[in-house]
Copies of this chain bind each other. A is one copy, B any other.
């Protein structure tokens, strides 16, 4: 038996996040931006945040360049914790890309995303922190 029981049937955020991943993978930045609130914050790397549509879009352009326009983003296990119109998503996020020398590379992060439910029932991302709790660096 697993350490914790499976969560109930898939939360709508599973599909939302999968669609956002596809938009990032496709480098369709117009589509990517539709997943964020206007005043969202993206943790580009620990200590460097991008806030608002313009900064986040530029960050994604820089990220695409950084990964040689080959980044593929997917999610593994994903847990959604809803508190009213706010949801914390804890996810295993997988990054795959091709290095400049042609070698394949990959990384897995334990990420945290905060989504807000909108008036029409859709969910938008307010805080995108793919570094999860690694932002506090101490060993525990």
Contact of A138 among B77, B83, B125, B127 (CB under 8 A): B77
Q: How many residues of A contact B (CB 8 A)?
A: 49
A39 to B112, CA, bound (A): 20
Knowing A84-B38, A111-B133 touch, does A92 contact B127 (C-beta < 8 A)?
no
Q: Which of B5, B39, B136 contacts A91 (CB under 8 A)?
A: B136
Q: Report yes or no: B133 in contact with A133, Cβ–Cβ below 8 A.
A: yes
Report whether over half of chain A's contact residues are helix, strand or loop; otherwise say mixed. strand
Report how far A127 CA is from B2 CA in the complex, Å: 24
**Which residues of A91-140 have CB atoms within 8 Å of chain B's CB atoms?**
91-92, 108-112, 114, 116, 125-127, 129, 132-133, 135-138, 140
Which candidate, A9-17, A20-28, A43-51, A59-67, is the interface stretch facing chain B? A43-51
Chain B: CB-nearest residue to A88 = B127
Contact A126 to B47, CB < 8 A, known contacts A92-B136, A110-B136: no
B81 touching A49 by the CB < 8 A rule? yes
Contacts of A38 in B (CB 8 A): 84
The 8 Å CB contact of A46, one of B4, B127, B133, B135, is B4
Residues of A within 8 A of B (CB): 2-5, 7, 37-41, 43, 45-49, 51, 76-79, 81-84, 86-88, 90-92, 108-112, 114, 116, 125-127, 129, 132-133, 135-138, 140
